[in-house]
């Protein structure tokens, strides 16, 4: 993590997680607003959207919005402030799309190096701290992942895909101006994608041999 993302660890951390699930926490790379240095911390997946009961009109548990569409990320009041000043990197080794039901067929995608070997990567993300009526747990730091149109490799499985950044784009995404960052909201080149596994309810474990958390998520329905 320190080599890939240029962060200094001041604490011991687990080196693997089975997956990222909505509302759960995972390791995310942000930039300290005071020092300007990159830091690694656990954030919960999903910006909180207030909800009210249709029956009583009273506030109920907020919805976790996990994906930010690239087409509206600059203009939507829900996303635009975070896009302007709170962008982050979400480390991963794979992500999953499912097709069909009963059974669901899982398709696990990864990113390959120049030799075709799977390697860790990062999603383009946004982060925000929620408080008050949106959460009963006090301050809650959250993140969401930017999505865009699918490339030719993933389009047979879903019309959209997460924005996956090349390593040389990390700095631009984290610290570039909004006009610079919006230029990165594109599908990853097809040639860099690999299909790691597929089948009925298949899960990928640490046997990938990647020394990083094996994180995954599904975009179905997003």
Matching residue, tokens 């656990």:
42
Whole-number Å distance between alpha carbons of 119 and 95: 13
Range 165-169 average pLDDT: 96
- Is residue 213 included in any domain, yes or no? no
Q: 184: pLDDT confidence band, cut at 50, 70 and 90?
A: very high
Do the domain assignments include residue 24? yes
The answer to the question of residue 105 being in a domain is: yes
pTM: 0.87
Q: Is residue 148 part of a domain?
A: yes
* 220: in domain: no
Model confidence at 216: pLDDT above 50: no
Please report, for the domain that includes residue 152, its CATH number. Answer: 3.90.1680.10
Q: Has residue 29 got a pLDDT over 60?
A: yes
Whether 176 maps to a domain, the answer reads: yes
Identify whether 150 is part of a domain.
yes
Backbone dihedral angles phi then psi of residue 25, each to the nearest 5 degrees: -95, 150
Residues in the chain: 222
Q: Which residue has the higher pLDDT, 74 or 116?
A: 74
Residue pLDDT, tens place only, 132-145: 554 455 678 999 99
- Output the pLDDT for position 209: 42
Residue 12 lies in a domain: no
Determine how β-strand 95-99 pairs with β-strand 47-52: unpaired
Structural domain of 46 = 19-208
> Three-state DSSP class for 141?
strand
Q: Does residue 148 have a pLDDT over 90?
A: yes
Could you give the number of structural domains in the chain? 1
**DSSP for residue 186:** S
pLDDT digits (tens, 9 = 90+) for 81-95: 999 999 999 999 899
Per mean pLDDT, which range of 36-40, 97-101, 218-222 is the poorest? 218-222
């Amino acid at each position: 993590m320190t080599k890939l993302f240029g962060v200094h660890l001041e604490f011991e951390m687990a080196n693997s997680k089975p997956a990222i699930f909505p509302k759960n926490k995972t390791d995310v790379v942000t930039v300290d607003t005071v020092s300007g240095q990159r830091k690694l911390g656990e954030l919960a997946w999903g910006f909180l959207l207030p909800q009210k009961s249709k029956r009583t009109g009273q506030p109920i548990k907020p919805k976790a919005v996990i994906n930010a569409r690239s087409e509206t990320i600059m203009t939507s009041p829900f996303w635009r402030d975070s896009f302007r000043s709170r962008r982050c990197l979400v480390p991963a080794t794979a992500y999953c799309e499912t097709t069909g039901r009963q059974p669901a067929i899982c398709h696990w995608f990864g990113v390959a190096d120049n030799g075709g070997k799977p390697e860790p990567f990062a999603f383009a993300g946004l982060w925000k701290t929620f408080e008050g009526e949106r959460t009963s747990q006090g301050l809650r730091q959250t993140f969401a992942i930017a999505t865009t149109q699918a490339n030719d490799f993933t389009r047979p499985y879903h019309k959209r895909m997460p924005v996956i950044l090349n390593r040389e784009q990390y700095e631009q995404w984290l610290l570039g101006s909004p006009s610079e960052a919006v230029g990165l909201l594109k599908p990853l080149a097809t040639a860099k994608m690999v299909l790691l596994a597929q089948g009925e309810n298949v899960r990928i474990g640490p046997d990938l041999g990647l020394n990083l958390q094996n994180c995954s998520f599904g975009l179905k329905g997003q």
